[in-house]
């Protein structure tokens, strides 16, 4: 039986920390769908199309990964895709409480769906999309934290 997993998030933008999690997930599961949340309550820095495009280009080296977007409840989307697993990355203990609560809530709503946690590489434990955006917003740059395509997009967005 093939197991399909969903790796959901805002990915605004995707970072090397996310890519690390996606690469590891792709070694475990037959198919991984990186799914960008369409959040009507939150204005993102990048549009959903831009986020998907950056994710697609950054993950094109992994054959069993697809990129998609979704809105509404995550578990409805997971069921619609006929996936059995939700992937989440853990960077630090501070992520744990939020992730634990979300996993339990999703289990309550959909007991057949499993949440699978993958621990980040320590070198990305401090990385977040908002900190990356802020650095570029204030004229800084960072190497090795985002893929080249994202680096260029951030420079274009904030520094031109
Ligand atoms: N490497 C780098 N950064 C990481 C990371 C990693 N491995 N894992 C998480 N992050 C960062 C993200 O960059 C983001 O940073 P930011 O807040 O500074 O922008 C932050 O951690 C949040 O991560 P993200 O994975 O985008 O989570 P989220 O909280 O925005 O979204 C969903 C989580 C999409 C799974 C959740 O909101 C959801 O399921 N929504 C749908 C509605 C629903 O079903 N709700 C009920 C849930 S119980």
Model-level pTM?
0.94
How far is it, in rounded angstroms, from Cα 12 to Cα 44? 7
Atom of ligand 1 nearest to the CA of 12: 19
Q: Ligand 1: distance of its center to the CA of 88 in Å?
A: 8
Q: Ligand 1: distance of its center to the CA of 64 in Å?
A: 22
Could you read off the pLDDT of 71-119 as tens digits, one per residue?
999 999 999 999 999 999 999 888 999 999 999 999 999 999 999 999 9
Could you read off the pLDDT of 15-42 as tens digits, one per residue?
999 999 999 999 999 999 999 999 888 8
Residue to mutate (ligand 1; options 5, 8, 10; most atoms within 8 A of CB): 10
Least confident of 24-33, 94-103, 123-132, 137-146: 137-146
Contact criterion met (CB below 8 Å) for 144 and 33: no
Is residue 53 scored above 80 in pLDDT? yes
Domain 4-158: CATH superfamily is HUPs (3.40.50.620)
List beta partners, residue 7.
34
């Amino acid at each position: 039986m093939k197991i399909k997993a969903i790796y959901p998030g805002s990915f605004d933008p995707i970072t090397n920390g996310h890519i690390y999690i996606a690469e590891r997930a792709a070694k475990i599961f037959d198919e991984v769908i990186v799914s960008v949340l369409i959040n009507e309550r939150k204005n993102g820095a990048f549009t959903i199309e831009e986020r998907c495009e950056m994710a697609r280009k950054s993950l094109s080296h992994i054959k069993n990964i697809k990129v998609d977007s979704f809105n509404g409840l995550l578990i409805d989307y997971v069921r619609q895709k006929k996936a059995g697993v939700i992937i989440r990355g853990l960077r630090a203990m501070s992520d744990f409480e939020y992730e634990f609560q979300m996993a339990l809530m999703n289990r309550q709503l959909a007991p057949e769906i499993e949440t699978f946690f993958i621990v980040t590489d320590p070198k990305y434990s401090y990385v977040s999309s908002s900190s990356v955006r802020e650095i570029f917003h204030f004229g800084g740059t960072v190497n090795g934290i985002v893929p080249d395509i994202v680096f260029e997009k951030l420079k274009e967005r904030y520094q031109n």
